[in-house]
Every structure is written in C-alpha cells, then in structure tokens.
A and B are shown apart, each in its own frame.
Chain A
Amino acid sequence: MTRVFALFVFAVIASVGGAQDLLIKNARVITCAGPELKIGCVLVKGGKIAAVAESLDEPGVPVLDARGKVVMPGFVLPHATAGLDGRNQNEMVPVTPYVSVLDAIDPSLPFYEDCLRDGHLSICVMPGDRTMIAGMGRIVRPWGATVENMTIAAEPGLKIAVAPPSGNRASWIAKLRAELDKGRRALEKQERESKVGGNEETGNAVLDLEAMGAKKRQLALFRLLRGDLTAHVACKTAGDVLQALKLAKEFKLKTLLICGPNTWRAAKHLAKEKIPVVLSATMAIREIDPETGKEIERVIPKIFHEAGVRFAISTATGSLGGRYAWYQAACLVRYGMSREEALAAVTKIPADLIGVGARKGSLEPGKDGDVLVLTDDPLSGRAWVDQAVIGGEVVYERSKDPRLSEVFGGGK
C-alpha cells in the first residue's frame, strides 16, 4: 500500500517541470491580507509572489486561467502529530529533547497526499503530547520525495507537555522544572567556561554551542533556554495553561501554547495577557453539570473568540469535517466569527504563530508562491482544491488525482 502512495508522489513530481513562474488569472482572489478581489491575478516569479492585482500581464510567464475559480493562500496547519512514520509519536522516556521528527517523517504517508489534496500546504509536524520534553518539530510542505525536499523551516520548536498522559501532575511538573533547571545550570556552566564575549542586549553569551563542546544531547535544550527555539507546549487543562506560562516566565522561554479543548477556562486569562494560542481540532466538548446532572455543550473556539483570544485552529482526522481546514473555518463562522477572522485562523494566524508569517499565510508580494485554486468559496462547504501551487509550481491537479478518480469512478 505504501508503495502505491510513494508512486503517487513521484508521479506528481514527474508530471511537473521546474517552473517557478506562474500567472494565475481571472479568479476571485482571497488574499487573507485585506479585501478580496472579485476578479484578480496572482503573479509568482522565482517561487515568490511578485504581484497581486486586478489585472496583470507578464510576457513569457505561463498562465493558469482560473476563470470561475477562487484563489487563496495555502492553509497552514499549526500543529500536527500525524505524518510521522509508524503509529508511535511518543517516546516512552520522558525527556528526549534530542530527538527530531526529521528522522520520523515519512513522505509516502497518505497523510501528506491528503494534505496536498485538501490544500494544507504548510504543516508544522510535532512529536506527540505524551512525552515531557518530546523533541524537535519541523515545518514541511506536503510535497517532495524526501524530508529535506519538504522542509519549509527546519527547527521551529521543541515540543513540551505540561500534563502527564496519566498519573500525578505535581510530580510531572516537578520533574519538568528539574530538567529545565538542570539544563539551565549546564548551560550557565558552559557559558562560564567558554571565553566568548557576551551580548549586552539579551544578556546571553554569543556562543557557538557546538563549537564549545556542548553535547549533542543537550543542544536542543540549550537552544530552548537561550530563546533560539520556541517551546510548543501541549496543555490539556486551564491549569496546564497557567503552569506553562509560569514555567515560560521562570525560564524565559519563548512559548506557543497548544491548547486542548479543556483549556477553555483559561480563555479570559489568555485574552488579558494577549497570548495567542493554537486550538486543537475539537470544536465542542460536553460537560455534565454536577448540580443538575444536565449536559452542557462548550463550543471551544466560540469561548476563545468571545474572550478575545487570537487563535489558530488545528485539524485532526478524528471526525468527518475536522480534517479539513476549510471546514474548520466554516465552523468558526457558524459560531459567530467573521469570514475574515475565520479564514485568518487557518492561514495567516497559524503562519505567524509557528514563525513563518513572513513567508506563508497570505497572498502578498514577497511571500512564497503557495496558492490554492478552489472550485468554490472555501466556506461554501463544496469547494475542492482544483490545483495546488507551491513556490509557483503546480504540484497537484484534481483532474489527475488517481485516488479521487478511483472513488468517483471518473464521474466527478
């Protein structure tokens, strides 16, 4: 089965040239950075967006006529634990900052095939939620035969879980704090022993950690403690959110909170502190009121939105619609967000949060030429990705998708 998917990936690569220039014309353009163009063009040159305007002409550049179609930036998944080889995304040893999804990403997984088909063009792949310091993530595109080809950003951050998968929370936090503390002391020792000058602004020594002999196993943790890496912190409950913020303050960590549905009680606090978060794909949870015995439905993004938290929303394969970024955005509109806010939560905001905001998340000159050509409005519920463009290359065409033609028997 895997072999079939690998063939699929290669077939796609073989079918396109190395074209880096493309002019998409006559489409409705949703830029996710300002007003939509009823009819517009997107020009990609050298893999980057050169211009977005109502009318553009560029002799010599191949033209993609997208009449009747809708064009928008590729969706950005801010946190995915799928896409790793095998089924185990969690180390059983609690502290493994030195592992990296680099070594586990399997480009032939159908996950990437689906991402391409569904327009998820930037994916922040992270280790699972069950390991304390779980290792390094990677931002990839769903296209390319090797991890190196797929890589958008090599080391966006280190995954940390503040809640244990089971068992005592207090001892888990104590151990996490002890590990960070141990790392900090080791780093300070390293800094003292090396004779390189300091940086006045940050207070950190400007060091080449590797050159001064830091062990490979320690590097990621050192970089986290020096602020070179962001901690992507998985929080299950509101209490976890507060713990994560406390640790971040204590160890001066750059953090991105990955909030599970049960964190909703922390929404007001996050809003007050102006901390943006990544929300999990779960749209609603049910709680039983212990007094009345009645079930209460909590719509998570609605609570965060009404509290005023800026958030990106994830996708997950556990439900019918939750696997699609467009569906997640449509739900946000159903729950009271504006169209622009909803689309930003699956494009611009996740790109900003994972640190690739300068390259991804909107159609603006200078950004990467990652463009989706959709058959319909993304919030209509009927849209399919007709073409996906990555860096100016058409890397997916629905009409040539073998899986869809198999399923629909050529009828659709």
Chain B
Amino acid sequence: MVHLLLLALMAASQPVGPGGPDLFIRAGRVHLGTGEVLEAAVIQVRDGRIVAVGKDVVIAPGATVYDLSAYVVMPGMVDGVSYAGIPGGRTANEEGREHTPSLRVAGALDGRAPELARQLRAGVTSLVVHPGSRNVIGGVACHVKVRGTEGALRVADDAVALRITLGTDPATGQGRSGRSAGYMNRRPQSRMATIYEVREQLQRALNYRVRRSADDTVSANADYETILLALDGKIAVHWQARTEKDIHAVLRVGKEFGLKRNVILEAYEADKCSSELAKAKTPVLVGPLFHPQYGGGPRAPMNPEIDAIADDHAHEHVEICLVGCEEDHEHKSCDDPTHVHDASWPRCAGHECCVAAGVAIAPDKSEVHRPIAAAWKLWRSGVPCGFARGGDVAGSTLLDFARFAVRSGLPADRALRMLTSEPARICGIDDRVGSIAKGKDADLVVLTGDPLLPTSAIEMVLIDGRIAFDGRKEKAK
C-alpha cells in the first residue's frame, strides 16, 4: 500500500528543478549523519538543497510530498577514496613520470561509467575520485556527485586533495631484469626512494616560489603551483600509506614541510600507530576492510614482508597474470596462487577468469577480523576517521564496512557518522554533503530499516533533491 502510494506520488512529482516548488519528505526516522536521530520528521528541499529538517516543519499546501513514513532516511554516503568513473578503473595510472601533481582526475571522468551506478545502488552519493597509485605524486583528486542533472556524474569540486602514494605501488614493475636503464628503470625502486621523491618535489615547489617571487621572468609551472596549494593548506594531501612505516613517514614528512591537512588512505596498519595519529590529529580513511590480499585473502594482511614478496613477483605478474578484458575496465587475474596479487587489481564479479582465481586461492590465512577491528581501535584512540571503499573490492559496499565494524564493537552512531559526516569533513567537502542540515545538498538514502542491519535494503537514493535511484522502479521492470 505504502509502495503504491509512493510510486503514484513520484510519478506526479518527478521534476524538481530550479525554481520549482519545494519538496517535502516525510520520513519515519531520519539519521542526520551527525549522530542525531529524529523520529517522524519532515525534510524540506528547495532547488536541490535542504531548507529545513525537523518534526515541526510545516508542509506548504500544494507542495510536492514524498511520504516515506515507513522508511528510514540517512544522508547520502561519502566515499573518500574511489576510482570510479576513470575509464579503465584504477589501472588508469600515469606512469610516465614519478610525479604528475597538476594532473586532474576531474578532466578524465566517464560520466556514465557502470561503477557510478553501482555506488548509487549502494547509497553512495559523493565520491572523492583519486588518480591511481602507480606514481608517487599522482595528481589532484576531485569530489564527484554520482548523478547530475543529465544522468551523468557531476563534478562538485575539481580540486579536493593532492594524492601521494608511498610504499611499493609506485615502484611496482620497475627494475625489471633484462630491461635497459631509462624509461622503465628510472623510477623509484625502493620505499626510501619513493619518500625521497616526495621531499624533493615539495622542496622544489618551495624553491620555485622563492625564485618566482624574486624574478617575474620565471615562468609559471603548473606542477609546482599545485604542490603549493597543498603546502598552503588550500587542498588536503591524501597519502596512501599501507604499513606502519609508511604512516610514520607521512607524519615525518608532514612535519618537515608543515603540512596541515594530511589524510591517510588504505592504512592497514594504522591501528599499530593510533596514538601517534591521534596526537598528530591526522585523520584516516579506513578501508577497504576486506581485500583478497589485505584481509581474508591468501596472504596475511599485516605481514611487513608482503611488499617485498610483491616486488619479487611483480615481474611474473605483469608478464603472466594479465588477462585482457573485453570490456573497457581492465581486469586481471591469475590461476597461480603462488603469485602475489597486487592490491590495486580489481576483481570483477561475474567473470570466469576471476572466479577461477578465487577457487585457486585457498584461504590459508584468515585475517578477516583484524582490519575490521582496526576501525574500532582507531575510534577508541581518538583518531578522526571515516570509511572509504578504496576501489571496487570484491562486491563489498561501504555500508557493509560499517555493519561489520559495528559487529566488532564500533558504536552504531559512530559508524553512521563514519559513512557520512566524518569522511565529508576529512575531505573538506562537509560544507555541501555528509549530513542532513539546512543549506546542505539534498542527498538522501532511503532504507527499509535501520541502515546498520544487513537485512535493510536501500529503496531509493536522492541526489540534489532528485530521485537518482529507485529500487521500486527496478523491481517493476
């Protein structure tokens, strides 16, 4: 009955464009994203923005009303680390140079990439889309709304953070035997060289500023200008730092250069140095909580040797394991379980070669609880943190991360904040998204029950006040 009513209302009221009438959403329960919960509240939306939310919002006569009183509403989720919309998925890496700071992901997005629709179905409305991890300074990450007015994505902010990758990802594939020095062999081949590259570039940018201020014939350099944005705190710095030693390197280099807005990604060992992170007030985007390699997979996730092993096998990987995918998203898998599977390689459900690889990999190390418990440990230590999916990982959703973290002891209200307002704040996009409050974008997720119950389904997603996903309609097909 409710559903029928819902459909009828939606059919009557679909276009909510600029200057259109206000939209009123009557919800059974509203999680504001800040930890606060309202029962039986009304959300008022005008021109894609929230005008008011509360129990006593008066519904204007003649206005459009969505009656969702049988449902639970929460803010659209914010994924702080995504590679969605980049043609070729995460493998779209710029490897021509060690550092490409002025490269902007925003200019390369495929607005109709299937991954965006997947995120939408999973209730994620905002993504911070990053460049890949195969060079040291990858470029500038942007804030993307997964649906805009024409059905494609909308870039909400084309410069959110400078992406820096530590560890061995930027060195993967380098130093191959049999290759002459030069093109493929010049890039950093060790962890220390990677960090050296970062220091070098930050210092060069500072020198550039001094030179340019003293001499106006020095021509502008887009790369250095971008790094200066980060050094001046105008954009954040998102560091991929998986291991404890990489995290320490972030804190060290950050201190040396006075970087104020450091954020750590894929910090699988963050729980080992949570007190330092808390002291430095350095936030962590937690995730993926599950990865075939880092958790639940064939190799122990927290093994400090893992990168070394990966290096040893990197050569065979590229040579043997590459299975070209017919579709645009490159897709690699391997039957040989003795190979280390690169953490950055997406596994794509439904393709036989990946399924076969899944069968071949025996789950002989089951570190599944550790990464999940890390979220709880970071929270307990006072490290600011939000969830981030970090790519297309084995069909798991951002919401699932939160559900499992709650099972492992994270308080439910905290888990909801870590899906919404916390990642928005960490990424500096909380002026627009991450909570249901006056002035914020009307990005809403409508669920059949408590968001943290695995039995609850996402029925509808609104972006900028428009229905971007409608589970009811999908069912009717």
On A, residues with C-beta under 8 Å from B are 1, 81-82, 84, 86-90, 109-111, 113-114, 128-130, 165, 236, 260-262, 282-288, 294-295, 297, 316-323, 327, 330-331, 333-335, 379-384, 403-404, 407-409, 411-412
Contact = CB atoms under 8 A, between A and B. Distances in A.
Given A333-B455, A334-B456, A407 B407 contact: no
Contact of A285 (B296, B347, B350): B350
A314 to B, nearest CB: 12
Interface of B: 114, 117-118, 121, 289-290, 292, 296-298, 327, 337, 347-350, 352, 355-356, 358-366, 368-370, 373, 376-377, 380, 394-396, 400-401, 403-404, 406-409, 452-457
7 contacts: A114-B363, A283-B395, A294-B114, A320-B404, A322-B395, A381-B455, A407-B369
Chain A contact residues, majority secondary structure: loop
Contacts of B350: 261-262, 282, 285-287
Closest 9 CB pairs of A and B: A285-B350, A320-B290, A330-B454, A295-B114, A320-B396, A381-B454, A317-B363, A333-B455, A87-B362
B406 A111 contact: no
A381 B406 contact: yes
A110 B300 CA distance: 12
A110 B454 contact: no
Contact of B360 (A87, A288, A412): A87
A113 B363 CA distance: 12
Nearest to B298: A87
Contact of B373 (A90, A331, A408): A408
Contact of A113 (B298, B366, B380, B394): B366
A297 B361 CA distance: 26
Nearest to B456: A334
A84 B362 contact: yes
Given A82-B362, A87-B337, A408-B373, A382 B356 contact: no
Given A330-B455, A334-B454, A412-B408, 14 more contacts: A88-B360, A111-B364, A130-B356, A261-B349, A261-B350, A287-B350, A317-B368, A319-B290, A320-B400, A321-B396, A334-B456, A379-B453, A381-B453, A409-B377
Given A262-B350, A287-B350, A288-B327, A381 B362 contact: no
B289 A320 contact: yes
A110 B369 CA distance: 13
A110 B408 contact: no
A114 B366 contact: yes
A412 B373 CA distance: 10
B289 A89 contact: no
Contacts of B380: 411
Contact of B363 (A82, A284, A295, A403): A82
A379 B401 CA distance: 16
A110 B289 CA distance: 20
Interface centre among A89, A111, A317, A379 (most CB of B within 10 A): A317
Nearest to B474: A297
Contacts of A284: 349, 395
Given A87-B361, A128-B359, A320-B396, A381 B114 contact: no
B364 A109 contact: yes
Interface centre among B289, B348, B454 (most CB of A within 10 A): B454
Nearest to A237: B352
A165 B396 CA distance: 26
A379 B394 CA distance: 22
B128 to A, nearest CB: 21
B121 A381 contact: no
B359 A379 contact: no
Contacts of A322: 395
Nearest to B357: A318
A288 B352 CA distance: 15
